Chains A and B, each alone.
Chain A
């Protein structure tokens, strides 16, 4: 600043330049801010993904819109113009407009939260479908993820402390086996064993997200019913993912136990519990938090097969229905939600990182 103002300048122009300079500097500081840059990058990625989705649907030969028009003409004997109009209404685009205008409309609709209308259930907007089904997926897979991560980390820590012991061997075999079985297979096995052969669980009643007559409210009865229905998806999710957390945490903990600072902490006479939690556990879990945020990103997409098997009406269930019925607007909307959740989970990871690990300078 001092270099920009010289004595030859009149005082008022000097003042103006000063304030200009400081505005520019302020803007630059905002632009240089890590959080601002990171959010901008995430939004940019969302834009790129939505653009790709737009062009995929419109530019590919035999694109869904033309297929839909053709189907309307074939099945309902509609003439081309009417079929076209209906398709345009469903996909929330104006098919006569030039491509750039269609694209602009699409983006503007996106900003307004308008993702078009479902083909199979006309009159229902894609946004409302997502709003209705997404919370259930977040609820069930979210609980599964938290459970699986917590249990996996604790067991992994224990395994590392007792490595080469009996407990370690048993848990390592368990972890390797469950993490190598695909989730839909575990789901089917649970239904067959618990529901059909041993009849431990009332599989038929557990279908869906809520029992008939129960409405969302802040009551214990509602929560119980929601958990009752989400039980099997959660168990399946925990079983298929807990092994990976256990093994990662075990490996990471063994590495941390060999670190000098752990020996020094022992030499300092710290209590074992303090060393295990704040010195070993915390450092060993650090790399797993990255994996956790990535897993959060895949919560939405990962629910697909499990929800279909258990008839659990979440976003994965909607997606499988939409694919079966070629409900393109719904598919388009769900895909967008899936990619957005991955992008924002990564954003969260970046923000959390600096807080979890002081060595990573944020900013």
Chain B
């Protein structure tokens, strides 16, 4: 099991076969009031080496989808129908059919999830080293020294002082340090897929930058396959190759980062981009999507976005649109995506996209300096 160097995943690009394929995935929660349809009909391929951002409001099903992949949803949740295929070393399994122990082994070794609010991610009574060793031991590692060497290596990678961190209790570390320790720990078993749920939320802006830089390094230098869950479009723009917009549990638009941010075709994505506050713009330019996310127990008819949509017509109230090709590798689920295109020609995105771009250029500058 000893792996001296950080052994990244570049060699595992399996002839273009996606390491993770979600097919027609539904997730619902049983509640007293009825069935909450948190994720509906999600079909998605995660390509090797790509980073995919899931964006959307709270309650749009992003986190539920992430948790469904590692099957850590609460007991009241049900994943069905749906297939989640996972491929590694030429083998293919349906994650939803794994038994308890196979699932346990799959977690972290194949797919590690870095959680939101890492402040509480560690057992308060065990030292960082003990928790790393617990993790390695559970996956069949026996060589303490090898695990320690690897942990030291990873802690250095996330720019922490291993000597200080390794024998510290979680409460002795700051929030940003804990988030980085969790990131290091997520790489411990060399997983093929990394899911990051709001990796920078609840951190101050400086720490956010550090984490983003680390994630860029992972993505660009190591070609890690990642899924980001974020409501922060700037982060998505910086880190993602592809972006999926989620609304009311469905993917309503999916495309390359550039397409989504420069040529959005779904009114919801457009609304999200226009809602981004800008550094230079005043409040008058700020746009907000009217209304609030729908009740997931009692969903509106037709297109779930129609009650809040400026483009909505009678057709939207009756029929729910499927994802439709609106450009090369770019799909959107909207009857009126052409109207969105025309609207964008009349009123081009400047402020919103500008802020996103600013974030990117800021990062590039920073990179150039360091």
Contact = CB atoms under 8 A, between A and B. Distances in A.
Interface of A: 259-261, 263-272, 274, 278-279, 282-283, 286, 356-359
A267 B115 contact: yes
Shortest beta-carbon contacts, A-B, top 5: A260-B120, A269-B107, A269-B108, A264-B121, A358-B169
B171 A358 contact: yes
Given A267-B113, A269-B139, A359 B123 contact: no
Interface string B110-152: 0011010101111111100000001100110000000000000
Interface of B: 70, 72, 104-109, 112-113, 115, 117, 119-126, 134-135, 138-139, 169, 171, 182, 185
A283 B105 contact: no
Contacts of A266: 72, 107
B125 A282 contact: yes
A260 B119 CA distance: 9
B135 A269 contact: yes
Contact of B70 (A267, A279, A286, A357): A267
Contacts of A279: 123
A274 B115 contact: no
A260 B120 CA distance: 6
B72 to A, nearest CB: 6
Contacts of B120: 259-261
Contact of A270 (B121, B125, B135, B182): B135
Secondary structure dominating the interface of A: helix
A266 B122 CA distance: 12
A159 to B, nearest CB: 16
Given A278-B134, A359-B169, A267 B107 contact: yes
Contacts of A259: 120
Contact of B72 (A267, A270, A278, A358): A267
A269 B106 contact: yes
Contact of A261 (B123, B139, B185): B123
B134 A268 contact: yes
5 contacts: A261-B120, A264-B122, A267-B70, A269-B107, A358-B169
B125 to A, nearest CB: 6
B242 to A, nearest CB: 24
Given A271-B138, A358-B124, A260 B117 contact: yes
Contact of A263 (B104, B115, B139): B115
A114 to B, nearest CB: 45
A132 B135 CA distance: 53
Contacts of A267: 70, 72, 107-108, 112-113, 115
B104 A271 contact: yes
A180 B139 CA distance: 47
Nearest to A264: B121
Interface centre among B105, B108, B182 (most CB of A within 10 A): B108
Given A260-B115, A272-B104, 14 more contacts: A260-B117, A261-B120, A261-B123, A264-B121, A267-B112, A267-B113, A268-B138, A268-B185, A269-B108, A269-B109, A269-B138, A270-B134, A282-B125, A358-B169
